[in-house]
Chain A
């Protein structure tokens, strides 16, 4: 299985900050990487696919980058509704695998 490691596991930030979450895969996956947002008690919300393509309706303060084994999710000008847990997921090979999650909470 392709392992996906996320860091940090949690971070504290303020409204208006820029935060960066890193995802590293155990082998090269090209750009077959997605990002999800999940709020407590809610379903995960897909945000990004192909490492950097925003899904419809995703605010433009979200961006993704990376290729191969190293990827980042950047959230600029953090908004109150952005405090959540974020997961990356590789889909280069089955089984699909997720990172362990990064919780972004209010400083």
Chain B
């Protein structure tokens, strides 16, 4: 069965960096686009970034452009979110999610269990 397992969350100070990882299993990883979606405590869902199956297409929400970088290693079935210059507004549960297709259509069909990032001094 499809599984997405996030790791790398934690408590960090403002201005620092952190990298999230999402390891996938149960499907042909290199055939699907992947996304990161976040949810601040007690708030709704917010899309963060997406990457196509071959890594050639990437999209970001404006508030993270220049600070976050999405990447993937198809040999390791892993997608990453490198985050820098973190601020308290980035505090959230970060979910890895699969797109239904290789390109970034944006129709998601599976989500991981999430990794919590808390940005606090």
Does A associate with B in a complex?
A: yes
Binding site for B on A (CB under 8 A): 32, 34, 36, 38, 42-46, 49-50, 55, 87, 89, 91, 94-101
Task: Report B96-121 residues with CB < 8 Å from chain A CB.
Answer: 97, 100, 104-114
Chain B residue with the shortest CB-CB distance to A87? B45
How many Å lie between the Cα of A32 and that of B108 in the bound state? Answer: 11
User: Which residue, B35, B50, B108, has most C-beta atoms of chain A within 10 A?
Assistant: B108
The answer to whether A96 touches B106, judged by C-beta atoms less than 8 angstroms apart, is: yes
Task: Report B28-59 residues with CB < 8 Å from chain A CB.
Answer: 35, 37, 39, 44-47, 50, 59
The answer to whether B111 touches A45, judged by C-beta atoms less than 8 angstroms apart, is: yes
Pick the contact of A49 from B60, B100, B104, B114 — CB < 8 Å? B100
How many Å lie between the Cα of A33 and that of B62 in the bound state? Answer: 21
Chain B residue with the shortest CB-CB distance to A34? B107
How many Å lie between the Cα of A96 and that of B105 in the bound state? Answer: 10
Chain B residue with the shortest CB-CB distance to A55? B109
With contact pairs A43-B112, A94-B59 given, residues A87 and B44 touching in the complex (Cβ less than 8 Å): yes
The answer to whether A89 touches B45, judged by C-beta atoms less than 8 angstroms apart, is: yes
Residues of chain A within 8 A of B95, CB atoms compared: 43-44
Chain B residue with the shortest CB-CB distance to A6? B44
User: Which residue, A43, A44, A87, has most C-beta atoms of chain B within 10 A?
Assistant: A43
Chain B residue with the shortest CB-CB distance to A50? B107
How many Å lie between the Cα of A16 and that of B112 in the bound state? Answer: 30
Residues of chain A within 8 A of B110, CB atoms compared: 46
Residues of chain A within 8 A of B19, CB atoms compared: none
Residues of chain B within 8 A of A100, CB atoms compared: 44
The answer to whether B45 touches A91, judged by C-beta atoms less than 8 angstroms apart, is: no
The answer to the question of B67 belonging to the interface, with a C-beta cut-off of 8 Å to chain A, is no
The answer to whether B111 touches A44, judged by C-beta atoms less than 8 angstroms apart, is: yes
With contact pairs A44-B95, A87-B44 given, residues A95 and B111 touching in the complex (Cβ less than 8 Å): no
